[in-house]
Amino acid sequence: MSRWGLTYKTFEVVWPDEWNAIVDALDELSKSIVMVIPACGSGLVFDYGTETSVMPFTGELNFEQALILPVGLKVKLLAVHVYDNTLNADAYVYVRKNGATTDLWVKIGANSTGVFTAEVDGIDYPAGSGIDFLVDTKSATSGVLKIGSMVAIGFFSLPSG
Give the pLDDT confidence of 40-55 residue by residue, as tens digits. Answer: 766 799 999 999 999 9
Say what the pTM is. 0.79
Same domain for 88 and 126, yes or no, is yes
Average pLDDT over every residue of 100-107:
97
Containing domain of residue 1, as a range? 1-30
Same domain for 39 and 18, yes or no, is no
pLDDT for 41 equals: 62
C-alpha–C-alpha distance, residues 90 and 68, integer Å: 30
Give the pLDDT confidence of 119-135 residue by residue, as tens digits. Answer: 999 899 999 999 999 99
Total domains in the fold of the chain: 2
Query: Is 161 a domain residue?
Result: no
pLDDT for 65 equals: 84
Same domain for 133 and 89, yes or no, is yes
pLDDT for 29 equals: 66
Residue 116 has pLDDT above 80, yes or no: yes
When pLDDT is cut at 50, 70 and 90, the band that residue 35 belongs to is confident
Query: How many Cβ atoms are within 10 Å of 53's Cβ, its own excluded?
Result: 17
When pLDDT is cut at 50, 70 and 90, the band that residue 158 belongs to is low
CATH number of residue 92's parent domain: 2.60.120.40
Q: Which of 113, 59, 115, 114 is nearest to 86 (CA)?
A: 113
Strands 144-156 and 73-85: antiparallel
Q: Which of 45, 46, 43, 63 is nearest to 55 (CA)?
A: 63
